[in-house]
Structures are given as C-alpha cells and as structure tokens.
Structure 1
C-alpha cells in the first residue's frame, strides 16, 4: 500500500495509474478513493490518474481529534499527495466535499493547479441555509455516534439528491451504499465537525474567487438542489469558469452517469491542455440585455 504523509504526520493512502499529465481526484463525504475507479480506468489511458482516501477514511489515518480536520487541511492534503509524488502541477477534480477542497486548493495554491473541476459543490453555502446545514451536521454526528456506520449508511444513502442514482443504476448504488457502510464512524463524525460544519460559505469567498484565473469547470447535476444556485454563483464570480449541468442527475454524478461525466471532464482537460480555455471577455458582463441602449 502506498501512503503520503502530511505536515501534521497524517498518512494518506493513494492509488495511481497511467502516465502523462497528472489528474488527481478528490472524493466526497459519502465516498472514498474507490468512488473514482471508473475515472481512473478512463483517464488512466491518457493521463497519470491519481486518487486518495481523505484523512478519516481508512486505509488513510483516522485522527481522533476533530481539530485535525478542517477545510484548509482538506485543501492542503491534496498538496501533500502531489508533493509526495513529485508533481509540480496537476488537474484537480473533486466532488462535493472534494469539490470544496478543490476550490480551496485553487485559492490557496493556484500555482500548483493546471485546472480545477469543481463538481457537486454547494451544500450549506447559501446564507439562508447555513444554520440548517450546521444543525444537520450535528445530527449526522449524533447518528454516527449513536448507531454506528452501517446503520447511518442505510439512511444517508437515500438522501434527496442520491435517490436518482438508485433509480438509474441499482447495482452501482448498492456498491456505493456498501462502501459507505465500511467507513470509519469516528472519521466520518470528525469530518463533519471539523471540515463540513465549519467551512466558509461560498458567498463569503466572492472576492477571492473573483481573483482566480486557473481554468475552472463547475459541474453539477440538475437535481442536485443545494448545488444549483451556488454553481451559478461560482460561474458568475470566477472569470475563468464554465458551467455544465448534467440532466436528470443528482449528487453522485461521477458514479451515476460516469460516461457523461468523463466526457465533459475529458473535453475540459483537453481544451486546457491545448491552451484554448478562455478567460471571460469583459464585454460579456454588461448591465444591458442586448448591448444596445
């Protein structure tokens, strides 16, 4: 097994395949490194494809102190894996919790990113939903501590933005739910407390996002309700961002519709590699509807 070590001595398990320009995939709260298998198989044919298990997700270390988990730590853990592998710059692609980590990686370490694919990013971001999101994070922690991981997984897997996956691919959904049940309850609870609950709202990051020039793709499912408005915010705010919406899709888009996900991300990375990814023309931002007043 291969591990990278962070600056606070946490060991992160990683896997890689292929060669060429590097792409690192960052998983969501309910996923782990196994969630990206279909992407590693696809992108490993042309690129150096890498994924890892976040802290709190075995076989990575599971720190016992919630203070060892934070949004900044999540972003810097991406850097730790890249540094361990001797990679100066990489395409970074993350979903949900991993999407937030990808965005913050771009804000904290822009010189290390070839591009950013920020997928399924937005839970708890809207200001009128902040307190509800924080309360639900506490409820998740209480359920994990009271009932354990398997019981928690049997409920969490059927959230309102995940039932689309079950309807579309029952077998794939069953594999996802079983993998979720195998996670560490301690690691999941600490991730909620230190990272999910305390991360800043995207609406409080608008000035930082406005200065981001790394080529960026915002990707979301059209039934991933908490992510739709935040996706528009990121599109409007990041001058190098494009927005793609996957039809009839919920939250777990890389698993629910892997061929479409891979196609969209692959086209994006190819454009970046060809030097053809644009920064928004200032003329596209105007107070006029038609351009004629």
Structure 2
C-alpha cells in the first residue's frame, strides 16, 4: 500500500491518471472510496489522488489528542501535494474535507490551483456552535460504546442522507458499509478534536475576503445545515461561484455523480484555460434595493 508522511503520521493514498493533479479530500462519514466515480472519470485527463485522513485506516490512527484538529487536516493536504511533488493542485473536498480545503487555501495558497468546496458548513452558524459540539461529543461516545456499525446506521438515516437512500439504494448501502468499517477510536478522536473544536467559518471572514484562488461552491438544496453558510461563502469569496443542486442532500458527489463530474470538469477547464475571473464589482449592490437601477434618473 502506498503511504506518505505528514507530521510523523502515515497517510494512505490512491493515485491514477496523468495530467494536472487533483487531490480529493473525503468527508467525516466516508474515506477515499467515496471518490471512486470521480477517480474513474477524471483520471482520463487528470492525475487523481485520493487519501484517507488521519484516524481512517489504512492511514494511521494516532492516540494523542494533539494529533487531530482542523490545522492538521489542512496541513495533511499540503503534505500530499508536497510529498507527491504536485506543485500546485486542484483540491476537491466534501464536508469535513471541504472545510479542510478552504483552510488549506488560507494556509497554503501557493499550493492551490483551485478549490471545489462541496457540502461545507455544518455547525458553522454561531448560534449552532454549542449544539453542534454537544452532538459531536455524543456521537464520539456512541462510536466507542456501540461501535461503528451502529453509528453507521444512525448517520445513514439522517436528514441529509436519506436523499441518497431514496435515489440510489446501492450507493447508500455502500456508504453505510464503508462507515461501518471505520475505526471507532479514530472516528471518536476526529469528532472530539476536529469537528467539535474547529472554528466557525464566519471566524475566517477576513481571510476568505482576501482569497483569490478559484473556488466552486456546491451544496444540495436539502442540505439544510449548509445552505446559509454557502451564501455567506459566495458573498465573502470574490473568486467563487455557487452551484445549488436540486433535491439533493449532503453527499453531492454520490447522489448526483454525473452532474457533479460535469460541473467540476467545466470549472477545472475554465481555471486551466485562465478564464476564471474575480467577481465583477459592478454586480455588488451598495444600498439600492433593486438591481439594474443604479443609473436610473428619477
């Protein structure tokens, strides 16, 4: 199995294809396997890498709390880019991986060619911080007390996961089976020291407003915890576009793989051709209630 090292933690990765590099960063409830349909498609034209986060075997499962957290998640992406000699890479992240991708763009902009930020923002609202932390702690306890198989069923039947179950039961079964395989200890440590403690994305507003890396934001219109934060991200990041996917929950790439691949490919093509521009400042309203009337004389 191929591994690379990030701060003495071994990270397992898979690689296929040639061309401009894409690094895929998975969500909390999954692992590198969630990107299979993306690797099969994009490897026709790109060098594709998917890796398992720390705490997700066959990557190492550290036992110290100091080995987990949001900065580690962002720096692990940088370790993959540097360790494989990718230069600058497109980064595609979902949920926990999308949060890490944004933070990677803030901490390591020189390594980022673009960012695809999908299903990002659970628990970001300041009013939800304490309840989100409490929920993460309770889920960590459940992993340790009841095991990954039990938690996989609960998570799989959550309000933002039933969309996948309804659309594609076989993919939903695979998602639950993969989550059932996860290390209970690694999942609990991730929940306690990354999910529960990570800052709100609103705390990074100044950094996001300064960002010029091309960004594609993607969110399902039934992914309630992430809808409002994506509007904030769209307004804050001048180099971003927002794609809202109809009748879709959290795992956009699993629910709508063809649409996801098409949207991402069009985005990457625009970036690689040098056509992705910052938002035209004329599109920003500065006090008037109605667009298109700035020059109207009354």
- With the shorter chain as reference, the TM-score category is over 0.9
SS in 1 for 2:24: strand
Residue 219 of structure 1, CA deviation: 0.5
Q: Counterpart in 2 of 1:265?
A: 264
Aligned partner of 1:230 in structure 2 is 229
CA positional deviation for 1:216: 0.5
1:110 aligned residue:
109
Q: 1:3, 1:145 → 2: CA distance?
A: 27
1:135-174 correspondence runs (5 A): 135-174=134-173
Number of residue pairs aligned between Structure 1 and Structure 2: 292
- Counterpart-to-counterpart distance in 1, 2:241 and 2:154: 34
1:292 CA displacement: 3.5
SS state at 1:205 partner: helix
Q: Which runs of 4+ in 1 moved over 3 A?
A: none
Question: How far has the Cα of 1:91 moved from its partner?
Answer: 0.2
Q: Residue 23 of structure 1 aligns with which residue? A: 22
Map 1:34-73 to 2 at 5 A. 34-73=33-72
Deviations 1:249-289 (A, max 9, x none): 10011111100110111100000011000101111112222
Cα distance in 2, alignment partners of residues 192 and 206 from structure 1: 24
2:28 partner SS: coil
The alpha-carbon deviation at position 65 of structure 1 amounts to 1.4
C-alpha distance in 2, partners of 1:19/1:95? 23
Instruction: Spell out, residue by residue over 1:95-128, the C-alpha distance to the aligned partner (whole angstroms, 9 max, x if none).
Output: 0000000000000001110000111001000111
Residue matched to 1:175: 174
Counterpart position of 1:126 = 125
What is the TM-score of this pair, normalised by structure 2? 0.97
Query: 1:195: which partner in 2?
Result: 194
Please give the alpha-carbon distance, in whole angstroms, between the structure 2 residues aligned to 1:4 and 1:107: 23
Q: Distance in 2 between matches of 1:222 and 1:202?
A: 20
Using the TM superposition, give the Cα deviation of residue 27 of structure 1 relative to its aligned residue in structure 2, in angstroms: 0.1
Aligned equivalents of 2:279 and 2:81: distance in 1? Answer: 29
Q: Where do 5+ consecutive residues of structure 2 fail to align?
A: none
Query: What are the Cα deviations for residues 75-102 of structure 1, in whole angstroms up to 9, with x where unaligned?
Result: 0000111111111100001000000000
Mapped to 2, the partners of 1:292 and 1:236 lie a distance apart of 23
Structure 1 position 66, deviation (Å): 2.1
Where does residue 80 of structure 2 map in the other structure? 81
- More deviation in 94-103 or 274-283? 274-283
CA distance in 2, matches of 1:74, 1:282: 33
